């Protein structure tokens, strides 16, 4: 992948010549099929070849250099990774990658994902190697199709499909013969992705969207707390007491994201961190938005905040006790729901459909992550992602039943419009004695502005953040550095005084 990204797909012929030269040099050292099998371009394959034939190392390397398969850029990119297979192929110490190496790595991966022909050419390496070893066998039709490949543009597409199909079948055959055939390759893949989380940073779409003039909504930047309209984070309507809370919530959520992105990530098995970070971010966004409107600082209008905070805490602590596959189940359940909602919306007659409605359906279909050709997405209509298990049962199993009963239940009663909540918040007694004391709708809105309640939201958000980082095993140094502003101590021992809110008061001081 690296070499073809640097030289171009047409230069795959160099690999074919390299395979032939190595096979000739190692003739008689092992079975032809064995030698051919491990010249498929994988680093782990070269290690297997060298383990069986120690003399293969200098031969493989010398022939690769002779055919220009190891340009300096490729060698530098490979040297970016620790514990890489076939380290002898590039005889140099591991060194942090420069921008050039990172760009090459990213380009190599992206081009294979976008270019089906290049993918097929890479998967054809084992076929070419087997053909030259005289061990390849298939139908006459496939042989005729592959003879001019990849130089015949008329048959290239059909040949690409055939190659990809044979590659998949061959992979299954190798696993059937040896269940651990790809064990080292999978181990290396985990190292590769983990290292990638350290050598390069996450990139957000907004980094490419320099012109945000077409964005209708005002977007608040978490690290700075400034909206896209240039306004500060806290509206004037927020009371002076507690005015720092919204900025504090922004700082906490921003530091959570920073800690994750500065810590090695399990990109090979990424569902757990995706689910955690998604749930915590959802909670943080709700809290930040609610803190921007004092009218929500009361039980009547802010119950959904309490409910979300408790629900998410139960989710992450319960899932931490389950098999790691529960995180994928959580995502799959949500994808199935998106498909279900798309189907329900699609039932509406054409007369009521507007262009934006059609876009909404397409958006839900995209979120279902379904295949465009084969409809394989399962829709689970049970009450939860945990095989229908209730959130109360989850809370009981992870020791949070009291929290569920004392916080979640009441907040749910308000959110679900149970009568006691309606009676308390939306109704009042008629004072006309002739009316028998019946209830009538209240015309007085709750004033909100309960600072203690708002503070409890931030407290619970911070609790969620710390629990999540602990469950994920996030690097302690990354966590300490990301939250250094809470104590005013930076990683170099200097005092930064915390992240400062709009009034100049340190958010860390206010939090303490």
CA 470 to chain centre: 19
In whole angstroms, what is the distance from residue 400 CA to residue 144 CA?
66
Q: What is the pTM of this model?
A: 0.76
Asked, for residue 325, whether it belongs to a domain, the answer is no
Write the pLDDT tens digit of every residue in 477-493. Answer: 999 999 999 877 544 44
Domain for residue 282, yes or no?
yes
Domain identity same for 236 and 159: no
Query: Residue 224: what pLDDT?
Result: 61
Find the range with the poorest average confidence among 28-37, 259-268, 288-297, 399-408. 259-268
Same domain, 188 and 252: no
Report whether pLDDT(405) > 80: yes
Assign 511 a pLDDT band (cuts: 50, 70, 90): very low
Would you state the pLDDT for residue 504? 34
**154 & 292 share domain:** no
Q: What is the pLDDT of residues 276-330, one digit of tens each?
A: 999 999 999 999 999 999 899 999 899 999 999 999 999 999 999 999 999 999 9
pLDDT band per the 50, 70, 90 thresholds, residue 234: very low
**Residues paired with residue 439 on neighbouring β-strands, in sequence order:** 429
Tell me the HSE value of 285 on the side-chain side, using a 13 A CA sphere.
10
Q: At which residue do the structure tokens 């060698």 appear?
A: 75
Is 146 found in the same domain as 25? yes
The pLDDT tens digits of the residues spanning 155-200 come to 999 999 999 999 999 999 999 999 999 999 999 998 898 888 888 8
75 and 158 share one domain: yes
- State whether the Cα torsion 497-498-501-505 is positive or negative: negative
pLDDT (0 to 100) of residue 214: 45
Same domain (yes/no): 54, 177 = yes
Query: According to the model, what pLDDT value does residue 226 have?
Result: 58
Domain containing 22 equals 2-199
Summarised one tens digit per residue, pLDDT across range 447-476 is: 788 899 999 999 999 999 999 999 999 999
- The chain-wide mean pLDDT, for the chain, equals 85
Query: CA–CA distance from 181 to each of 38, 128, 168 (Å)?
Result: 12, 21, 14
The stretch 209-237 carries a mean pLDDT of: 50
In a domain, 364, yes or no: no
What was the pLDDT predicted at 223?
Answer: 64
Count how many domains the chain has. Answer: 2
Between CA 219 and CA 229 the distance in angstroms is 8
Residue 508 pLDDT > 80, yes or no?
A: no
Q: What is the arithmetic mean of pLDDT over 440-449?
A: 79
What's the N-to-C CA distance of the chain in angstroms? Answer: 52
pLDDT at 187: 92
């Amino acid at each position: 992948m690296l070499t073809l990204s640097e030289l171009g797909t047409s230069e795959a012929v160099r690999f074919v010549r390299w395979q032939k030269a190595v096979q000739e040099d190692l003739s008689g050292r092992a079975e032809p099929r064995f030698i051919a099998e491990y010249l498929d371009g994988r680093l782990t394959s070269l290690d297997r070849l060298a383990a069986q034939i120690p003399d293969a190392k200098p031969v493989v390397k010398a022939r690769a250099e002779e055919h220009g398969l190891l340009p300096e850029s490729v060698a530098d990119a490979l040297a970016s990774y620790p514990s890489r297979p076939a380290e002898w192929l590039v005889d140099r110490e591991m060194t942090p990658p420069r921008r050039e190496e990172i760009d090459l790595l990213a380009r190599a991966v992206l081009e294979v994902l976008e270019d089906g022909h290049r993918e097929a050419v890479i998967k054809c390496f084992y076929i070419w190697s087997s053909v030259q070893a005289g061990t390849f066998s298939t139908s006459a039709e496939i042989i005729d199709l592959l003879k001019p490949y990849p130089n015949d543009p008329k048959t290239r597409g059909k040949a690409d499909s055939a190659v990809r199909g044979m590659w998949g079948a061959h992979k299954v055959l190798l696993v059937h013969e040896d269940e651990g055939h790809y064990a080292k390759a999978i181990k290396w893949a985990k190292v590769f992705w983990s290292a990638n989380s350290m050598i390069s940073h996450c990139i957000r779409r907004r980094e490419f969207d320099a012109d945000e003039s077409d964005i209708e909504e005002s977007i608040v930047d978490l690290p700075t707390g400034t909206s896209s309209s240039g306004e500060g984070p806290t509206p004037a309507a927020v009371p002076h007491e507690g005015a720092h809370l919204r900025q504090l919530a922004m700082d906490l959520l921003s530091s959570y994201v920073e800690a994750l992105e500065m810590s090695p990530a399990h990109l090979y098995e990424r569902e757990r961190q995706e689910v955690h970070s998604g749930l915590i971010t959802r909670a943080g966004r709700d809290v930040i938005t609610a803190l921007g409107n004092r009218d929500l600082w009361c039980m009547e209008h802010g119950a959904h905040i309490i409910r979300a905070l408790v629900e998410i805490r139960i989710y992450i602590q319960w899932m931490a006790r389950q098999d790691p596959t529960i995180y994928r189940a959580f995502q799959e359940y949500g994808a199935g729901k998106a498909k279900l909602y798309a189907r329900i919306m699609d039932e509406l007659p054409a007369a009521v459909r507007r262009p934006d409605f059609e876009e909404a359906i397409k958006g839900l279909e995209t979120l279902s992550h379904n295949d465009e050709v084969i409809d394989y997405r399962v829709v689970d209509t049970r009450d939860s992602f945990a095989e229908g298990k209730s959130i109360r049962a989850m809370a009981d199993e992870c020791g949070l039943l009291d929290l569920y009963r004392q916080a979640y239940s009441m907040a749910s009663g308000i959110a679900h419009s149970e009568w006691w909540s309606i009676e308390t918040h939306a109704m009042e007694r008629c004072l006309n004695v002739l009316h028998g004391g019946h209830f009538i709708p209240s015309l007085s809105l709750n004033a909100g502005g309960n600072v203690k309640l708002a503070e409890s939201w931030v407290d619970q958000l911070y609790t969620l953040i710390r629990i999540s980082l602990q469950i994920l095993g996030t690097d302690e140094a990354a966590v300490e550095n990301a939250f250094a502003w809470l104590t005013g101590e930076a990683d170099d021992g200097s005092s930064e005084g915390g992240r400062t809110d709009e009034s100049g008061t340190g958010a860390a001081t206010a939090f303490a």
